[in-house]
Amino acid sequence: MAKDRSATRTEELFLTRRIRCILALFVLGLVLSGLTAFPLDWEVTVLREWTGPGTLAGRVWPGMSQWMARVYEGLNHAGTNYPFLLYGTDWLAFAHLVIAIAFWGPLRDPVRNIWVIEFGMVACILVIPLALICGPLRGIPFFWRLIDCSFGVVGILPLGLAHHYTRRLAMLQKKTERAIETASRLQSLPIRSKREPGEA
């Protein structure tokens, strides 16, 4: 019984480490996505230099080249004449960072805070209808909508794996609790001594 409990404890620690590693990578992705949403004007300028008209990428993929040129023009015009519009992307960056902070809960205790992982999975699923519905209304090219959808797909894969491991960890913890409870009950039972022959 002690060996079984030791093996269960070892597996619990193994699963906990796996969950934390997966969630740490997901949080890192959220933080990077948030931080890169602040310097959009500089980033779009760099992308235009790499993929704009006249570049190798522009010749290979003209649609992307035209789109990046249009994004650069719109963002540059907004930043110069209507800089307050970029305040919206600042809040977008902030939202990513806040969601990353929320995952501190499952990093500490995955089983108790499994709802945060489930929240993240739902959010990843909702990325797809948002991109496919709102994208055409905002004039976003179809290929760029697919890129946006890929963030939801890439995000749900590690979260789904972490969710699977967390449910397995919860089952092991319940098994351990039942074993400890059973052992405690057995210890609390009175020990009957064997009677010697001839005793009344």
Say if 198 falls within a structural domain: no
Span 123-156, pLDDT tens digits = 999 999 999 999 999 999 999 999 999 999 999 9
Say if 77 falls within a structural domain: no
Say if 33 falls within a structural domain: yes
* Average pLDDT of the chain to the nearest whole number: 89
Say if 193 falls within a structural domain: no
Range of the domain at 146: 2-38+87-181
Say if 170 falls within a structural domain: yes
For residue 95, pLDDT beyond 80: yes
Q: How many domains does the chain have?
A: 1
Residue 18 to residue 9: CA distance in whole angstroms = 14
Span 143-189, pLDDT tens digits = 999 999 999 999 999 999 999 999 999 999 988 777 777 767 767 76
Say if 117 falls within a structural domain: yes
Higher pLDDT, 7 or 56: 56
Say if 54 falls within a structural domain: no
Say if 120 falls within a structural domain: yes
Per-residue pLDDT band for 54 (boundaries 50, 70, 90) equals: confident
For residue 17, pLDDT beyond 70: yes
